Structures are given as C-alpha cells and as structure tokens.
Structure 1
Amino acid sequence: MSEIDKRNRLSEEPFDYQITKKGTILIYYKGEQIKIVKDKEAEHLIARIKEDEDNVAAVQLLLAKITGNFKRGNEKIGKNKRK
C-alpha cells in the first residue's frame, strides 16, 4: 500500500460511501458527494467492498480508484464560497 499512497492521504479516510435500497452507491469525499455508481458497476463495487470491509485502507483505495482523478483544481466555486 505504501507504493500506491506515497503521501499517506488514505490513512485519513477521506472517502465514505452509502449504499441505497436500490443498490446505488453514493461516494463522498470529505463529506461532499462526488460520484454516484449504478447498475452492474455498483454490484461489482459492493462485492469488492464486502470482500475488503475489514481492511479500511483497501476500501479507501478502492473508492479512490473508482472516483478517478476528480480533483484537478478547476472545480467551480459556488456563489457563497467566493472570496
């Protein structure tokens, strides 16, 4: 794991998830929803999470990989968050 997470950011557990009744997975990063996973991809992800639910670092890595490279620095800032 140390080769993948060199800056040790996943140890802070920034990702969280919620599985809905319909089988959709809502993925959160530091409390903000960033991705919705549905259908076959959600079923596959749920199975992988259940395999690794004892290993928190593995689940964090799995959630990081499924979200992809979503932070690029060009995210839009809301009206209330402007400087």
Structure 2
Amino acid sequence: MPEDARGELIDGRFDYRLQKDGRVAVTWYGRPVTTLAGQDAQKFLKKMDGLDEHAAQLAMARVTGNFKRGNEKGR
C-alpha cells in the first residue's frame, strides 16, 4: 500500500525554510508546525537534498508528526 494512498500530499502543503541561525522551520500551508535545530536540522537538510517533490512532502509530514499512523517507517 502506498504511503500517500489518498494523494493528499500532491498539493505541496508542507514547506521548509532554513533560517539564518541554522534552524529549519517546517510549515503546513504557510503556518509554522515545527522547528528543527542543531543535528536534527542538519540531518533533515541532508535527507531533503535530492528528493523529488512527493518524497520531500512525505519526509516533511513525518518530521512534523502530521502523518497517518500505521505503516510509516523512519528512514
């Protein structure tokens, strides 16, 4: 079963922005959801590098915790 079976992440609802202090702000429809700092921020940025749009949406959904519970795995 695909992780986004209902196609809910197609619209690009999640986004992220690197801040001057090195933190990463993850937003949902432009509203702040979570902020990553330090090693978590660096790990997130490294993971995002090279992902296509859909895979990036899935990764941001996971990091915010706004993801259907069940079969997702931390990768």
TM over 0.5: yes
Give SS of 2:49's match.
Answer: helix
- When normalised by structure 1's length, the TM-score is 0.74
Q: CA deviation at 1:51?
A: 3.0
Higher helix share: 1
Q: What is the rounded CA distance, in whole Å, between the counterparts of 1:42 and 1:51 in structure 2?
A: 16
Q: Which amino acid aligns with 1:58?
A: A
Assess, with a 3 A threshold, how the Cα gap between structure 1 residues 22 and 44 changes in structure 2: closer, same or farther. Answer: same
Partner of 2:50: 51
Partner of 2:19: 20
Q: What is the rounded CA distance, in whole Å, between the counterparts of 1:46 and 1:28 in structure 2?
A: 15
Percent pairwise identity = 27
Q: What is the rounded CA distance, in whole Å, between the counterparts of 2:22 and 2:59 in structure 1?
A: 18
Give SS of 2:15's match.
Answer: strand
Partner of 2:64: 67
Q: CA RMSD in A?
A: 1.5
Ranges in structure 1 where 5+ consecutive residues have no aligned partner: 71-83
Q: CA deviation at 1:21?
A: 1.8
- When normalised by structure 2's length, the TM-score is 0.82
Greater RCO, 1 or 2 (C-alpha within 8 Å, sep 6+): 2
Q: Which runs of 4+ in 1 moved over 4 A?
A: none
